Amino acid sequence: MRKTVLTSMLLMALHGAAQNPVIRNQFTADPTARVFNNKIYLYPSHDINEPDPAPEGMRKDWFCMADYHVFSSENLTDWTDHGIIITQNKVPWVQPDSYSMWAPDCVYKDGKYYFYFPSTPKGGRGFAIGVATADNPEGPFTCEPEPIKGVSGIDPCVLVDDDGQAYIYWSGMGIRGAKLKSNMKEIDGEMQEIAFPQRPGNNAPAGSMKVAGHNMEGLPDGFKEGPFAFKRGDWYYLTFPWVRGDTSNGQNPTETLAYSMSKSPLGPWEFKGIIMAEHANKCWTNHHSLVEYKGQWYLFYHHNDLSLQNDKRRSVCIDKVSFNADGTIKEVLPTMRGVGINQATEKIEIDRFSTASVGVSTQYVDTTNCMLGSCVTLPSKGSWMKYNDVDFSCITDGYVIISAKANANTEFCIRENNAKGKVLARVKMTVLNEQGRFRRDMSGQWMTLTTPLEYTPKGVANVVITCEDKEVTVDWLLFKNRPKYFKPSFDASTPATPDEQGFIRRWLLLEPIKQDIRSNVVFTNTWLREAFAKTYFKNQMDILPKNGQKVKSGQQTLAWHALESENYNIKLFRFAERWGQQTYGSLFWAVTIIDCDEDIPNVRLAVGSNGASMWWLNGEEALLLEGDRRMVEDDGVSPRLTLKKGRNILRGAVINGPGLSDMCIRFIDEKGNPVKNYSIKAQ
């Protein structure tokens, strides 16, 4: 009976994990990475915490794995979790609840995908290796009813040679290898009767069993497991976790990743050395695969980054790997940064830095939940950290959002490429504002800080954070583009029309004139009439300004800007923020020219403005919107007016204390419907 064991096709996109470890919402170990259909597919084992209650006899804090997920990615950065492909209690030959779905592999041959996985067989002890097949790399997979005969062990790896012949390697009393039949499910060759002694600490008696294949020759002494074989050029590589250290005197050295090379797929092998040294923090296991993707070789391996208390809960990491001219492998140093390019607009876990100055350290944000990730502390002025490969092509008018904490007011910079590089943003951190009205002590608390970019790198750059004052700790950052409020200038010779709802979007705006207004409660009719009647600059009521033309108002020199608003409302606050000297306490002057083919009688100028405003059509007062206004469509209208044939000049002034100044202006007919049969020049 063939049984489809697909239990879940839950797709989950995991974004922006262009750092190690690559999967952060669950544990993943023993990664086998394969390239199918121009995508990277990742087949890891799936470490979990023990079920509660744990099955009888389950060893505490030991390896615990119930199923397999498969993940895919096109850029090694954004991973999709395709969900569970095989689960222990639905495999016909697997002992239920044995939680021993260890390191798998998956290969393609002749239109089918073959998934190899070890587990404890029913009623038995030790491990057998089973096969499941599928038409697609993410399944659904169908399990064979029995495991492969003659294979007793773990960590299967299959190599399909250029001639189509497949070989299987596994770990069981040393590392063994054998030919596979063309059905990929049976060993091709004789079985050997192998005697095994009674092992210390194991109740099973000594005996013998029929075993396929043969022991790989030429490998170094010491504990080995997890074979991964691949071919590059005319070299075969057999790579494996290996304990090279001295195990005498009760020491417990941990695994390296090591390799041997041969000109033939089943050896004999010549030992070449180390691919990756022992993990610095004593994570006992390592387990890996090597894969070439888009011209670059990558080493997939694992580490217990998300579970420091228990090294049997591991997470997959990736680093680049390269070869010497003679085919030997250059040793890989594990990094936090990992591989892949981040888009600047992704949330980037900046603490996974590439390099840093002495004294810079990382800690878990929450030591009780490593899945929440880490943060990085820059201890003093001059300390820095560098995070490689962020793509800024998507940033045009950007700002940075960064999560940081500090114990005292401080300052840090985000720079390009090195600690003395160009400043993208200078972030001032005020954790305690002595003068603040709403004083609040934020020392030692996470703050999300936002700062506009002074400079935007071109293309891919390395991001450096430098501490410019006292200690600061940062967690993540991301860059965002500011919304577009205006097209900065327009071709004055091409007239515009009002928008669909009749709003006039094309204006000449004067940079704001400073006004000492802290609150709009002063906006009475009398006060406003006086304010609007004042002369702020020469020819205030007659000027037909040109883009860039400057006027003097008191101490201020202010420029006119020809702008086309992206919105129906003209966001004066954003105009002020970009081109003005202040955003609050401002008086804005606006001019536009309306061209009519004929007289349009009985129209009303309809205005909404934040705050108060006054309007003139062809030099005549049309409307005063008094009081503390918010911008509302058609908030106030003028008496009936005539837009005369030819050129009409519409002029206005908006005054505001605090608040998000804006205005929306259109003409409406006697029933309140928008008037649109005119064009707008503004210059």
Positions marked active-site: 30, 225
Instruction: Name the minimum Å distance from CB 375 to other proteins.
Output: 17
Residue 213: CB atoms within 10 A of its CB come to 25
CB 99 within 8 A of CB 64: yes
User: Which stretch, 56-64, 146-154, 202-210, 438-446, contacts other proteins (CB under 8 A)?
Assistant: 438-446
3-state per-residue secondary structure call for 388-408: EEEECCCCCCEEEEEEEECCC
CB 107 within 8 A of CB 164: no
Query: Does residue 452 belong to the site contacting other proteins (CB under 8 A)?
Result: yes
User: Which stretch, 46-54, 176-184, 460-468, 655-663, contacts other proteins (CB under 8 A)?
Assistant: 655-663
Task: Give the span between the Cα atoms of 473 and 447, in whole angstroms.
Answer: 10
Instruction: Name the minimum Å distance from CB 607 to other proteins.
Output: 12
Instruction: Name the minimum Å distance from CB 367 to other proteins.
Output: 16
User: Which stretch, 48-56, 280-288, 290-298, 627-635, contacts other proteins (CB under 8 A)?
Assistant: 627-635
**Which distant-in-sequence residues (6+ apart) come within 8 Å of 531 by Cβ?**
515, 587, 655
Length of the chain: 683
The secondary element (H helix, E strand) that includes residue 578 is: helix 572-579
Map residues 353-392 to x or -, x wherever contact with other proteins holds by CB under 8 A: ----------------------------------------
Which residue type sits at 234? D
> Which residue among 634, 649, 668, 676 contacts other proteins (CB under 8 A)?
634
> Which residue among 66, 184, 637, 664 contacts other proteins (CB under 8 A)?
664
Query: Does residue 9 belong to the site contacting other proteins (CB under 8 A)?
Result: no
Nearer to other proteins, 595 or 635 (CB): 635
> Which residue among 633, 645, 646, 677 contacts other proteins (CB under 8 A)?
633
Nearer to other proteins, 229 or 478 (CB): 478
User: Which stretch, 58-66, 144-152, 352-360, 654-662, contacts other proteins (CB under 8 A)?
Assistant: 654-662
**Which distant-in-sequence residues (6+ apart) come within 8 Å of 437 by Cβ?**
none
Instruction: Name the minimum Å distance from CB 405 to other proteins.
Output: 14
Query: Does residue 437 belong to the site contacting other proteins (CB under 8 A)?
Result: yes
Instruction: Name the minimum Å distance from CB 420 to other proteins.
Output: 27
Nearer to other proteins, 282 or 630 (CB): 630
The secondary element (H helix, E strand) that includes residue 525 is: helix 525-533
Nearer to other proteins, 159 or 474 (CB): 474
Residue 129: CB atoms within 10 A of its CB come to 24
Instruction: Name the minimum Å distance from CB 104 to other proteins.
Output: 28
Nearer to other proteins, 100 or 343 (CB): 343
Matching residue, tokens 């959002």: 401
Helix, strand, coil % over all residues of the chain, rounded to 5: 5, 45, 50
Kindly report the backbone phi and psi dihedral angles of residue 239, in degrees, each rounded to the nearest multiple of 5, phi listed first.
-115, 150
> Which residue among 630, 640, 645, 647 contacts other proteins (CB under 8 A)?
630
Task: Give the span between the Cα atoms of 455 and 357, in whole angstroms.
Answer: 24
DSSP notation for 276-343: E---TT-------EEEEETTEEEEEEEE-TT-TT-TTS-EEEEEEE-B-TTSPBPPPPP-SS-SSPEE
Burial class of residue 598, CB neighbours in 10 A (0-12, 13-18, 19+): exposed
Query: Does residue 480 belong to the site contacting other proteins (CB under 8 A)?
Result: yes
CA distances from 333 to 336, 354, 413 (A): 10, 11, 28
Query: Does residue 122 belong to the site contacting other proteins (CB under 8 A)?
Result: no
Task: Give the span between the Cα atoms of 31 and 288, in whole angstroms.
Answer: 6
Task: Give the span between the Cα atoms of 359 and 377, in whole angstroms.
Answer: 9
> Which residue among 197, 436, 459, 619 contacts other proteins (CB under 8 A)?
436
> Which residue among 337, 352, 571, 651 contacts other proteins (CB under 8 A)?
571
Task: Give the span between the Cα atoms of 484 and 16, in whole angstroms.
Answer: 25
> Which residue among 356, 425, 631, 682 contacts other proteins (CB under 8 A)?
631
> Which residue among 52, 205, 280, 438 contacts other proteins (CB under 8 A)?
438
Instruction: Name the minimum Å distance from CB 672 to other proteins.
Output: 8
Reading phi first (left if > 0) and then psi (alpha if -120 to 50, else beta), residue 470 is in beta
> Which residue among 282, 396, 632, 640 contacts other proteins (CB under 8 A)?
632
> Which residue among 230, 364, 399, 490 contacts other proteins (CB under 8 A)?
399
Instruction: Name the minimum Å distance from CB 466 to other proteins.
Output: 22
What residues numbered 583-612 form the site for other proteins, per CB under 8 A? 608, 610
Nearer to other proteins, 160 or 401 (CB): 401
CB 240 within 8 A of CB 157: no
Nearer to other proteins, 259 or 568 (CB): 568
What is the four-CA torsion angle of 86, 89, 90, 94, rounded to 10 degrees? 90
Counting residues that bind other proteins (by CB under 8 A) gives 33
What is the four-CA torsion angle of 537, 540, 542, 548, rounded to 10 degrees? 60
Query: Does residue 483 belong to the site contacting other proteins (CB under 8 A)?
Result: yes
> Which residue among 369, 450, 524, 525 contacts other proteins (CB under 8 A)?
450
DSSP state letter for 50: P
User: Which stretch, 90-98, 232-240, 409-417, 659-667, contacts other proteins (CB under 8 A)?
Assistant: 659-667
Nearer to other proteins, 552 or 630 (CB): 630
Query: Does residue 11 belong to the site contacting other proteins (CB under 8 A)?
Result: no
Map residues 515-554 to x or -, x wherever contact with other proteins holds by CB under 8 A: -----xx---------------------------------
User: Which stretch, 281-289, 373-381, 405-413, 657-665, contacts other proteins (CB under 8 A)?
Assistant: 657-665
Query: Does residue 14 belong to the site contacting other proteins (CB under 8 A)?
Result: no
Find the angle CA(97)-CA(101)-CA(104) to the nearest 5 degrees.
165
Residues that bind other proteins (CB under 8 A): 399, 401, 433, 436-440, 448-450, 452, 480, 482-483, 520-521, 568, 571, 574, 608, 610, 628, 630-635, 658-660, 664
